[in-house]
Amino acid sequence: MIKAGILGATGYAGAELARLLSAHPFAEIEILTSAHNAGAAYGDIYENFRHTGRVCEADDIEEAARRCDVVFISLPHGIASKRVTADILAKTRIIDLGADFRLKDIGVYEKWYGVEHFGAGLIAEAVYGLSEIHRADIRGARLIANPGCFTTAGILALYPLVKDRIIDIDTIIIDAKSGVSGAGRGLKPELLFCEADETVKPYGVTTHRHTPEIEEQLTLAYNNQDGGARSRAGDRSIILNFIPHLVPMNRGILSTCYAMPAEKGVTYEDVRAVYAKYYADEYFIRLTKKGVFPETRWTKGGNFIDIGFTVDERTNRVVIAAALDNLVKGAAGQAVQNMNIMFGLNERAGLETPPAFPI
């Protein structure tokens, strides 16, 4: 059995990871940590784990690296870049669910996150952990930067169209709708039930930190036709609008993407063919039938992303909708999928249970 550690197991993503690993056939949880609740029964914090008898340990990456084959980090941004070192990577593999190693351009990171990055030396080594796109690199990686929830939806929805240059990259708009768990478990007034129930609102309008992550990955896809994951001088940059909205539900992201075709006359079948080219063999990417659009409910608890689209001749626009569970394919499930790839397991191991409905 692979021994796994979870640093930051008391956040929602960390807890979802604990849930998925609890039933994984080839991995087991060796250590769960909590910065504020070391020593506490995990079942006192998350009663759904009451039966496990697990206890939170201190947030010690050295200890975790010593005891584990793989350590998942689910901590606020700015911490992993300090704690993950060459020394740690010599002892264990790291899958970081935070933002610290996602952006290749450190200047972009520091600008959007407003903090200094302390792990510059490892950025080059870090592999962006979107399994379907970077599978080959993930296989041999020691350090995975697990993608953000919105970015997973946005990139996977648009990747084939950008890669094959079938859409005009200057016209991309992503209007995303997210459940509240995406905002985390912090005590913020706007996250109170009575403030978030029965309402919809935009937030982080034009300033959300997942924007540069989507842009960087799509830019790489557009320019590196050979599949490389590094930018080059002269690359054409993709700049887009990403506007998230908060929806009164626990989980789920729906990203509605708008773009104009790169040239006139693109048909539904053309676009479908491009999706098929890249995703036909991808188990966790499900294309809806023509005329059917994704709904977040069909993905809850599962590691799938559902994608549907139309080509509107009237307005000459492609409209794509992508749905996923932000805590699974958008975080913990994606992380387990990456672990499976890194350790040469069946990529679906521990992720076989279909999404639950209604739940």
Q: Which of 68, 149, 194, 257 is catalytic?
A: 149
* Nearer of residues 90 and 359 to its own copies, judged by Cβ: 359
**What's the CA gap between 213 and 242, in Å, rounded?**
11
- Number of Cβ atoms within 10 Å of the Cβ of 290: 11
* Nearer of residues 17 and 64 to its own copies, judged by Cβ: 17
Shortest Å distance, C-beta 301 to its own copies = 5
Shortest Å distance, C-beta 36 to its own copies = 12
Shortest Å distance, C-beta 268 to its own copies = 11
β 241-246/201-202 pair status: antiparallel
* Nearer of residues 199 and 225 to its own copies, judged by Cβ: 199
* Nearer of residues 165 and 297 to its own copies, judged by Cβ: 297
* Nearer of residues 118 and 268 to its own copies, judged by Cβ: 268
* Nearer of residues 118 and 283 to its own copies, judged by Cβ: 283
DSSP 269-323: HHHHHHHHHHHTT-TTEEEPPTT----GGGGTTS--EEEEEEEETTTTEEEEEEE
* 58 residue type, one letter: A
Q: Spell out a b/e string for 195-212, using b for 16 or more CB atoms within 10 Å of the CB, else e.
A: ebeeeeeeebeeebbbbb
Judged by phi (left if over 0) then psi (alpha if -120 to 50, else beta), residue 227 lies in left
The CA angle 252-33-16, to the nearest 5 degrees, is 20
Shortest Å distance, C-beta 304 to its own copies = 7
**What's the CA gap between 7 and 1, in Å, rounded?**
19
68 is catalytic: no
Shortest Å distance, C-beta 278 to its own copies = 17
* 179 residue type, one letter: G
Dig out the tokens for 60 from the structure.
């010690």
C-alpha pair distances (Å), 120 with each of 5, 101, 106, 144:
24, 9, 7, 15
* Nearer of residues 91 and 208 to its own copies, judged by Cβ: 208
Shortest Å distance, C-beta 211 to its own copies = 9
Shortest Å distance, C-beta 115 to its own copies = 21
Helices 131-139, 149-163: inter-axial angle, 10-degree rounding: 100
C-alpha pair distances (Å), 316 with each of 8, 25, 260:
46, 48, 6
What residues act catalytically?
149
